[in-house]
Chain A
Amino acid sequence: MSLRNNRAVLLAAAASVLLVAGLALALLWAPQDADQGFSQRIFYVHVPIALTAYACFAWGAWKALRLLWTREPRYDLESYTAVHMGVIFGILTLVTGSIWAKISWGVWWTWSERQLTLFLVLFLFYCAYFMLRFSVESGPRRANLSAVYALFGVVLIPVSFLAIRLAERFIHPVVFTRDGPQMSGSMFLVFCICLAAMLALFASLYTNELAGKRLDARLRELREALE
């Protein structure tokens, strides 16, 4: 137990240090973007959050696969927690992307930004995941249904991405592209630190949330045993 506590504390500490360092470097040290100026620095927050959200969904799908493979009930909670975190990071991606769109292009929403559109689809998809979970009695049935749905999600990500790229050809011509200047070395370093920070934040949140949910389940079991 103490080992697990230690791990949670370590992860939280790593996440805080990396987050502070990453944000400080992104705001103060990273070179100014020639094209977009100061506002480009939201890149160091937005993109790592988006990548972390993908990592969450992938982790959730991996745990779902493990559940279906081994039928061990503990994977259900792990998969659920990862998807839960993924949705939180997904919402943050939508919010930060929206802010960036407003500053760069003057609109809060643009369908021509692929990642944002993809995250909107994923957001809707994973919200339905929660609806599904909350309307099935807990037990192996719910674990299986959630796991299958989580697996569908991770397959849907590349398929939707492809679909959105294809849709641009008839819905909108691509007006904005972000492939301006290539990243310089120092920009890439800051980006990597920010990405590591977000991943550490995910790991920390995941560990804590999982511990909380496990305690919750244990408490419910004890209550039922008492009644």
Chain B
Amino acid sequence: MTYFADVAALARKDLLLELRSRDTLPAMLLFVISALVVFHFSLPSEASATASTGLLWIAILFTALLGLGRAFAAEREQRVLDGLVLAPCDRSAIWLAKAIGVLAFLGIAELVALPAYALFFEPVGWELVAAIVLADLGLAAVGTLLAAMAAASRARELLLPLLFLPLVIPVVVGGVGASVVDDPARYLGFLALYDLIFAILSWASFEYVVAE
């Protein structure tokens, strides 16, 4: 079980780093609340309730993007990734640990965002919560891989949204679908399928992204 010990150690490093430096998480929290406030002013008063659900999903997507943009910042600035690649652990463990960190940040941001959304807009149903949990898994899985890709390029911050958004359109479809239709099971199933497919693909291909 050294694999999971490696993952735990790496994830612990990320969470501890964030706990001490407080770089990313406060920014994500502030961003998601600001986005919701902006959405209030961008929705005309006669807009339907479902419109605000759609905007919540956009807020989640962009909050995830904000977190992902910083995900490999420390590794890049301090050249940690080279060390991690040389370390005698499976490289996919790096991806898994980083994805767990991203997932944790995103989850905490949503713990703040959902009550705020319920306060400002509509009450939050269980379908929405279930859809967000499933969507977070997919966003973290795909996003971590793409963030590693973007970190290897010159364009970095510019590139990540371009790589990320077309790939997560299915997540938006599943998420919005689950939160607005009467029988969300089909959409939740689709989200789970997306998570499964892209988590396996990201897990298997991460090695090629970080290694020469």
A131 with B159, Cβ < 8 A, contacts A121-B166, A170-B177 known = yes
A155 to B167, CA, bound (A): 10
A125 with B212, Cβ < 8 A, contacts A155-B201, A159-B197, A166-B173 known = no
Is B209 touching A163 in the complex (CB atoms < 8 A)?
Answer: no
Q: Closest B-chain residue to A122, C-beta based?
A: B166
**Per a CB cutoff under 8 Å, which of B153, B180, B197, B205 touches A135?**
B153
A124 to B190, CA, bound (A): 22
Q: Closest B-chain residue to A123, C-beta based?
A: B166
Q: How many residues of A contact B (CB 8 A)?
A: 33
Interface residues of B in 17-40 (CB under 8 A from A): none
Is B177 touching A135 in the complex (CB atoms < 8 A)?
Answer: no
Is B209 touching A132 in the complex (CB atoms < 8 A)?
Answer: no
Q: How many residues of B contact A (CB 8 A)?
A: 34
Q: Closest B-chain residue to A143, C-beta based?
A: B208
- Note all chain B residues with C-beta closer than 8 A to A212: none
Is B181 touching A170 in the complex (CB atoms < 8 A)?
Answer: yes
Is A132 touching B163 in the complex (CB atoms < 8 A)?
Answer: yes
Quote the shortest CB–CB distance from B71 to chain A (angstroms). Answer: 16
User: Which of the segments A38-46, A146-154, A172-180, A215-223 contacts the partner chain?
Assistant: A146-154
Closest 6 CB pairs of A and B: A163-B170, A125-B166, A135-B155, A163-B173, A135-B153, A128-B162
Known: A131-B163, A163-B169. 18 other contacts (CB 8 A): A68-B205, A121-B166, A124-B165, A125-B166, A135-B159, A141-B212, A144-B211, A145-B149, A145-B153, A145-B208, A152-B167, A152-B198, A155-B201, A159-B170, A163-B170, A166-B173, A169-B181, A170-B181
Residues of B within 8 A of A (CB): 145, 149, 152-155, 158-159, 162-163, 165-167, 169-170, 173-174, 176-177, 180-181, 186-187, 190, 193-194, 197-198, 201, 205, 208-209, 211-212
A-B contact pairs, 20 of them (CB 8 A): A68-B205, A124-B165, A124-B166, A128-B162, A131-B159, A132-B149, A140-B212, A141-B152, A141-B212, A144-B208, A148-B149, A148-B208, A149-B149, A152-B198, A152-B201, A156-B167, A156-B170, A166-B177, A169-B181, A170-B177
